[in-house]
Amino acid sequence: MQDFYKGKKVFITGHTGFKGAWLTQVLLSFGAEVKGYALAPNTEPSLYNLLNLKDKMQSVIADIRDGEKLKAEMTAFKPDIALHLAAQPLVRLSYAEPVMTYETNIMGLVHFLEAVRQTPSARSVVNITSDKCYENRETNTPYKETDPMGGFDPYSSSKGMAELLSASYRNSFFNPKDYGVKHKVALATCRAGNVIGGGDYALDRIAPDCARAISQGKEIVLRSPNATRPWQHVLEPLFGYLLVAKKLWDSVDYAQGWNFGPEPSDIKTVEELVKKFIAVWGKGSYSITPDTKLHEAKLLHLDITKAKTLLNWRPVYNFDKAVLTTAEWYKNFYEGKDIVAYTMKQIKDYSQDYAKLN
Ligand SMILES: NC(=O)c1ccc[n+]([C@@H]2O[C@H](COP(=O)([O-])OP(=O)(O)OC[C@H]3O[C@@H](n4cnc5c(N)ncnc54)[C@H](O)[C@@H]3O)[C@@H](O)[C@H]2O)c1
């Protein structure tokens, strides 16, 4: 991976966000040249600012809904690879702001794909959607890539629509049958589960909620203790996305949808995650206040057989290691340690374990 990305030009939307900042730092450590396009970070602190990314990359702070601006910035950069992560990613906020959620997640994607159409250098293109793109049957059967799209709430349905939209662009403009003749774009989508990791400061996400509460001596409040999620450390899907982009570079056969999630044995409840988080930190407590007002998916499992079989990708960390790595990052942060060095260490440790396993 490192050899492949060294010297490659990578355009990322959403680089100021939680996953985007980690992804940018990974790519920079691989020797890639990165240009990002996103709004300014909307949390204080933010991983983007903590890592001082604006000084290490070309960073454009602008709106994804401004199609002309996005097109101008992408075409000027002439990227080899384009990764789309910018989105309104919160289920609860999507109930409060459905119009903004759809404008960002749907029209933002249309503008991104239109920009790709005008950028002949961009060969590997990956759209990041979500495990929530599937029609949720609330059963224990994990979702395969071929299952129908859906989504109960505005966020989830926007990700189902983003999948359909990507498939339409792939059929209409980036058709694998016309690859090398009418176009040179291989477009894939990636559907990852709930990610945890240091540096996320969003509201209503369990890992930052735990870290904030423990560091302030407060109780963690759980809304849905029994909801299960495909928890993963953030570096797991990110390495999956980078692997897909690398494969797309060599073959349009990978221009499809890909699930990235944990092994079935690591799919746990919210309460199990919180208990583990408290155990790693060495202190903390929680209470349960069920919220029945807003519907949120209770059961979400992803089938990762396809990524394991065809990409030879597999999760590197189990549930315990993912929570340990996350809680330790926040503990270091709240204890005032050098968080840039610690983040780099976590990337290096993960990369070594990934290389051993893959
Ligand atoms: N975090 C998770 O557990 C998770 C799980 C599955 C999928 N995802 C997906 O991964 C991607 C990144 O999520 P995240 O957790 O890093 O979210 P985040 O909120 O931390 O980051 C979102 C990014 O999108 C940018 N953005 C939002 N609206 C924008 C706009 N109008 N114009 C330009 N940029 C805009 C933000 O500035 C930020 O850089 C999203 O597509 C999300 O749906 C996240």
CB atoms within 10 A of CB 48: 25
Q: Find, among 240, 152, 142, 262, the residue nearest to 190 by Cα.
A: 240
Q: Is the CB of 130 under 6 A from ligand 1?
A: yes
CB atoms within 10 A of CB 3: 9
User: How far apart, in whole angstroms, are the C-alpha atoms of residue 222 and residue 47?
Assistant: 25
Q: Is the CB of 194 under 6 A from ligand 1?
A: yes
- All structural domains of the chain, each given as residue ranges with its CATH number in brackets, are 2-357 (3.40.50.720)
Q: Is the CB of 195 under 6 A from ligand 1?
A: yes
Q: Is the CB of 18 under 6 A from ligand 1?
A: yes
CA distances from residue 79 to 175, 232, 342 in whole angstroms, order as listed: 20, 29, 30
Q: Is the CB of 229 under 6 A from ligand 1?
A: no
Q: Is the CB of 20 under 6 A from ligand 1?
A: yes
Pocket test for ligand 1, best of 12, 15, 19, 194 (most atoms within 8 A of CB): 19
Return the pLDDT at 296.
Answer: 63
CA-nearest residue for atom 42, ligand 1, is 89
Query: If you average pLDDT over every residue of the chain, what do you get?
Result: 95
Residue type, 231: W
Place of tokens 């203790």: 225
Q: Is the dihedral of CA 200, 204, 205, 211 positive or negative?
A: positive
Query: pLDDT tens-digit profile of 4-47?
Result: 999 999 999 999 999 999 999 999 999 999 999 999 999 999 99
User: How far apart, in whole angstroms, are the C-alpha atoms of residue 28 and residue 51?
Assistant: 11
- Is the pLDDT score of 140 beyond 70? yes
- The average pLDDT across 311-331 equals 97
User: How far apart, in whole angstroms, are the C-alpha atoms of residue 96 and residue 113?
Assistant: 27
